[in-house]
Amino acid sequence: MLNHTPTITISHPGLGSSGSWSVTIDGKELVGGDTDLTAAQRALWYVPTCGGTVSVDGVGTIEVPHQAAGRIASITLADLAMVPGGETVTLRVRADRDPLEM
């Protein structure tokens, strides 16, 4: 799965909101609330280099094709949580574009 460039969509209602957030990778969705946000960010961040399944208790599971996809989803989810009014962002990331390696 390392040569796969997924489409990732991250949504969060924004700073001070209590709505749900979502991470969608290639059409598969993980949706949770405020109490699940930190667990989701942590799980996405620690995806192995070759990818894997992210599981968040009470929320569900999602396949993440590689570490770079998990990390960019985690970082973007954290960033959107700080945006007043919230936002939705769609992006693509190759395995060789890990945000920590750039």
pLDDT at residue 65, as a whole number: 94
pTM: 0.89
pLDDT digits (tens, 9 = 90+) for 38-84: 999 999 999 999 999 999 999 999 999 999 999 999 999 999 999 99
- Beta bridge partners, 12, equal 87
Summary mean pLDDT of the chain = 91
Output the pLDDT for position 19. 84
Residue spans of alpha helices (H) in the chain: 37-45, 67-80
Instruction: Look at residue 98 and tell me whether its pLDDT is greater than 70.
Output: no
Which SS3 state, helix, strand or coil, does residue 75 take?
Answer: helix
Domain map (residue ranges) of the chain: 7-92
